[in-house]
Amino acid sequence: MAPSAAQRIVIENCAIATVDANDTEYASGYLVVADNTIESVGAGNAPEGLENVVRRIDGTGHLATPGLVNTHHHFYQWITRGLATDHNLFNWLVALYPTWSRIDEPMVSAAARGSLAMMARGGVTTAMDHHYVYPKGSGDLSGAIIRAASETGVRFTLARGSMDRSEKDGGLPPDFAVETLEGALAATEETVKKHHDASFGAMTQVAVAPCSPFSISTELLRQGAELARRLGVRMHTHGSETVEEEKFCHELFGMGPTDYFESTGWLGEDVWMAHCVHMNDSDIAAFARTKTGVAHCPSSNARLAAGIARVPDMLAAGVPVGLGVDGTASNESGELHTELRNALLINRLGAHREAALNARQALRLGTHGGAQVLGRATEIGSLEPGKLADLVLWNLDTLAHSSIADPVTALVFGAAAPVTLSLVNGRPVVEHGRLLHIDEDALARTTRAEARRLARIAAEG
């Protein structure tokens, strides 16, 4: 298609936080989207004489930002929310594994659509799912998750997870909940070959993602890293989440989690890790040196009493940090825009107090930081010409926000702002707070029915 034939969407009269390298903002500006990319952004009105403008949007009272990027989630947990609500991580996992090991394809499909819908409605334009429970005979779970993301209309990374260290090998999951080493590696390779798209602007990518040190063998970590690097895809896992995990690593491997990951090939610029709460100075230095990314999940860390990740220290050291919802069995809201606020507030309870994070840094974590840890910072995460048109128009002309002095402060410190419009790849996904490709009421009924079916099957044992 010749450039002149591009279809354009023009957004004007809104505040804009570009989240570019200089944190450029416009009190009143414009954005021009041409097909799936951002053509121009600036102060004042859009240039005159643009051709093929199919839509012109008056953004008065709104703030435009890059779309939010979620870097850690477990979609299947959407149908096991509200359980084990007063537990730490290990007790919570042991309580839930027997139920999780009974999931099947219709359950996972409904849970994925519920998780995705909730995030998309709140301004997420790039989602990820770390899925690591693959019971025998449960169907094509990875395919169901990828189809759900495609139906919702968001950009997506499937982190194909796995577990092969069960109770009999000193791990936490029950024996019936895990795969074999060979089976997990073969299925992961097949998923990458079938679904991963390495091209610029890809809507679907796949990462290699063994679950956590206490549910995977050392061999799965080692061979998983080799597989990912042979296939040229990213690597993801959980790390340094709780004091119990740290103790587990010292007892089994004779070293802390970060040293263990380094010894198995799991630090590097192609790796991002969820949580990273219990990190000492040398752990943070190792992440910074290797450019290993972090998915910071403040609400889940609070829900499971895991602790406060040292995000200000990580940022000062140069560690790439994004935000994660984490699975909704440990963060029932399932929203990412509220994580901007929670990241800011929770980090102010740590050592740096009021200097820990500001509103702009929180917005950066949820956008550009997420794009960095997913390896997509040249494509998404800021509003700049040539980047993909993944953006959100937040309505701040509401009772909750209209008297807050500054739009970025209103977005981060204020109540969750409604999404008037979100675009993914230049295509509308949310309009006036409603999802365009999903029937929310029907989905609410489906997810409730699947949650009840799972509870019934789990109760039968």
Minimum CB distance to Zn ion, residue 131 (Å)? 11
Which 268-307 positions form the footprint of Zn ion (CB under 5 A)?
274
Which helix (H) or strand (E) segment holds residue 252: the answer is helix 243-253
Q: How far is the CB of 431 from Zn ion (least distance, A)?
A: 31
Q: Which residue is nearest to Zn ion (CB)?
A: 326
User: 16 or 279, CB closer to Zn ion?
Assistant: 279
The CA distance from 375 to 66, in Å, is 16
At its nearest, how many Å lie between Zn ion and the CB of residue 109?
20
Nearer to Zn ion, 132 or 260 (CB): 132
In the complex, least distance from residue 341 CB atom to Zn ion, rounded to whole angstroms: 20
Q: Which lies closer to Zn ion via its Cβ, residue 225 or residue 274?
A: 274
Judged by beta carbon, residue 66 or residue 293, the one nearer Zn ion is 293
Cα torsion 447, 452, 453, 456 to 10°: value is 160
**Beta-bridge mates of residue 29:** 14, 43
Distance CA 264, CA 234 (A): 15
Site for Zn ion in 325-354 (CB under 5 A): 326
Structure tokens belonging to residue 79? 């149908």
Q: Where are the alpha helices (DSSP H) in 129-217?
A: 141-152, 181-195
The stretch near Zn ion (CB under 5 A) out of 146-154, 319-327, 337-345, 398-406 is 319-327
The answer to whether residues 60 and 311 touch, using CB atoms and an 8 Å cutoff, is no
By CB under 5 A, the count of residues binding Zn ion is: 2
Nearer to Zn ion, 153 or 239 (CB): 239
CA distance 157 to 73: 11
Question: Which of 185, 274 has the CB closer to Zn ion?
Answer: 274
Question: Which residue number, 30 or 214, has a Cβ lying nearer to Zn ion?
Answer: 214
Distance CA 434, CA 122 (A): 10
Contact 150, 203 (CB under 8 A): yes
Closest separation in Å from C-beta 67 to Zn ion: 22
CB of 345 to Zn ion, least distance (A): 21
Smallest gap from residue 385 Cβ to Zn ion (A): 35
Instruction: Classify each residue of 129-168 as buried b or exposed e, where b means 16 or more C-beta atoms within 10 Å of its C-beta.
Output: bbbbbbbeebbebbbbbbebbeebbbbbbbbbbbbbbbee
3-class DSSP state for residue 419? Answer: strand
CB of 292 to Zn ion, least distance (A): 17
Contact window for Zn ion (CB under 5 A) among 51-59, 139-147, 267-275, 381-389: 267-275
Q: How many residues are present in the chain?
A: 461
In the complex with Zn ion, which residue's Cβ is closer, 36 or 338? 338
DSSP strands (E only) in 59-153 = 62-66, 68-69, 124-131
Query: Using CA atoms, how far apart are residues 185 and 24, in angstroms rounded to an integer?
Result: 44
Q: CA–CA separation, 135 vs 244, rounded Å? A: 26
User: Where does this chain bind Zn ion (CB under 5 A)?
Assistant: 274, 326
